[in-house]
Amino acid sequence: MAYHSPCFTHPSFGDLTPDRVIIFDTTLRDGEQSPGFSMNLAEKLRMAEALVSLGVDVIEAGFPVASKGDFEAVSHIARHTRGSVICALARSGSIKDITAAGEALAPAERKRIHTFISTSPLHMKYKLRMEPNTVLELITAGNKAARQLTDDVEWSAEDGSRTEEDFLCRCVEAAIRAGATTINIPDTVGYATPKDMEHIFSMLRDRVPGADHVIFSAHNHNDLGLGVANTLASLHGGARQVECTINGIGERAGNAALEEIVMALRTRHDCYPYTTNIHTQKLLKVSRMLATITSFDVQPNKAIVGRNAFAHESGIHQDGIMKNAATYEIMTPESVGWSRSSLVMGKHSGRAAFREKLNALGYDTIDETRFNDAFTRFKDLADHKKLIYDEDIIALVDDEVRNHDHIRFVSMCVNTVSGHPSHVQLTLSIDQCAVEVTATGNGPIDAAFNALRQAFAHEAQLLLFSVAAITEGTDAQARTTVRLEESGKLVDGQGTDADTVVSAVRAYVHALNKLLIKRTRKKPKTIREREGNI
């Protein structure tokens, strides 16, 4: 597997062994820009810290020139996050972008500027309206400008997988000459096959002068469900960096999922003899953190982190698993963070047991106030529910760690008599002041939502309302999802409680808090809309 020339030393990672794969996470950039997945500053910082503890090599933190919020997020992550290289995106053709990226990254311990420009005939003609030679000039100018600000520069050929081969070679050569140290060839539109991706990387490594002195990188989208397969094939072609996201979030059908790539490399090391620095036992925790922050759960059958990924329902399978787990399990649930033996919690469990349970579930950084709130709610739940499952506790804590600080649910009294309107008396805390209102409605949930509209005036439309039981039995907690829309902005909120009406109010309050964050964002994503993305 001779790959790099022996003299190759990466500006951020030093000497790399030929089997080492750099994990470049773009959850906070490609992931965050997909509809409904926006995060606030505090949430981005929490995710960045989680990515560091997971062992991610490079964190793409955002696109600083796109908005003030993006700039601030990159800048805060650069200042407060230590351990991973922090990367910011910039268009090759815009010195303003590159300057903004450099400024936002200034406080970082190790930083990377990532420039990109389209290279396919379709994108150059219709999107950029540029001649190929102009694109080549901008590649050179952009990478040179970025190299003035940091030694670690990545260049991406947007729509690279649909770029004509000779021209792609010339672009990559220009980027290397101008100082790029990582060359990314994205399958921007999710069109490539594994064979295509393997070929592109081996072709570039064969043909481009200087190819031995850079790291090649894959960035595959999942429009045909091939993101992970294309990424693995790219490694066979000689790529040694993979760009991916937690839970596979990203533009349209998403990006290749980090957890799937990492576990494929580990489980099938016989086929993919490569190593990463990822601590796989933390995969589930980070996946859940992202789902909590964005209110988008992964589907139950999602590989590695889905609720059913290690569940064995059929009797034949269960029997096999009990005799020897390898009969139906290709990797252990523990290796990705699931706990097999669950410590059953109930009304006699104390603070120490509750804390131990939270640690086991991955919530080891929760602050004292939120721990106390979660513990109080746990005791309340234990009073009327005999067995408390991990899912119950996860739902409780997720509710607490969300940033609902502006509006909080305090208490509610519901009166329902069949055949008559329901009455609700609701108390909220709005900016730490108690607000109490009463309202009526067609059933308790309608009455509760009317009360919410009175307590906190807003114009948002309710687009979706759904309730599901977290576990089995009539004493199970309900999880409610509420989707609100206000002037074209969509938000999803989630709430959990043993009382369905309370869970609905918590979900509505969560959605309202998210809407307030969105209201403070002035000009959302104009550059992204105009320029598209890699």
Which residues of the shown chain bind Mn ion in the complex (CB under 5 A)? Answer: 30, 534
Task: Please classify residue 437 by burial: count the beta carbons closer than 10 Å to its beta carbon, then call 0-12 exposed, 13-18 middle and 19+ buried.
Answer: middle
Beta carbon of residue 170, minimum distance to Mn ion (angstroms, whole number): 23
Which runs of E-coded beta strand occur in 275-327? none
Q: How many CB atoms lie within 10 A of CB 298?
A: 22
Q: Which residues contact 109 (CB under 8 A, 6 or more apart)?
A: 82, 86
Q: Which is nearer to Mn ion, 43 or 243 (CB)?
A: 243
From the CB of 186, what's the least distance to Mn ion, in Å?
6
State the minimum distance, in angstroms, from the CB of residue 242 to Mn ion: 13
C-alpha neighbours within 13 Å on the C-beta side of residue 68: 4
What is the Cα–Cα distance from 181 to 296, expressed in whole angstroms?
A: 35
Q: Are 65 and 100 in contact (CB under 8 A)?
A: yes
Beta pairing partners, 428: 409, 435
- CA nearest 475: which of 500, 453, 456? 500
Specify the residue, 401 or 534, whose C-beta has the smaller distance to Mn ion. Answer: 534
Tokens 């590989």 belong to: 303
Question: How near is the Cβ of 290 to Mn ion at its closest, in Å?
Answer: 17
How far is 404 from 406, CA to CA, in rounded Å?
6
Tokens coding 247: 């839970």
Cα–chain center distance at 245? 6
Q: Can you tell me the distance from the alpha carbon of 41 to that of 232, in angstroms, rounded to the nearest whole number?
A: 33
- When CB distances to Mn ion are compared, the closest residue is 30
For the CB of residue 521, give the shortest distance to Mn ion in the complex, in Å: 21
Least Å distance between CB 318 and Mn ion?
40
d(CA 526, CA 66): 7
**Closest CB to Mn ion among residues 30, 497:** 30
Taking the complex as a whole, the smallest distance from the CB of residue 238 to Mn ion amounts, in Å, to 21
CB 531 within 8 A of CB 75: no
Structure tokens at 205: 């490594």
* Least distance CB 221 / Mn ion (angstroms): 6
Residue in 438, 490, 499 with CA at minimum distance from that of residue 467: 499
- Cβ closer to Mn ion: 30 or 392? 30
Q: Which is nearer to Mn ion, 90 or 517 (CB)?
A: 90
Give the span between the Cα atoms of 282 and 246, in whole angstroms.
12
CA 463 – CA 513 distance, rounded (Å): 16
Measured from the CB atom, the residue of 88 and 534 that comes closer to Mn ion is 534
**Distance in Å, CB of 202 to Mn ion, minimum:** 22
**Closer of 180 and 534 to Mn ion (Cβ):** 534
And the tokens for 61?
């933190």
> What is residue 412's three-state secondary structure?
strand
Nearer Cβ to Mn ion, position 116 or 354?
Answer: 116
CB of 57 to Mn ion, least distance (A): 18
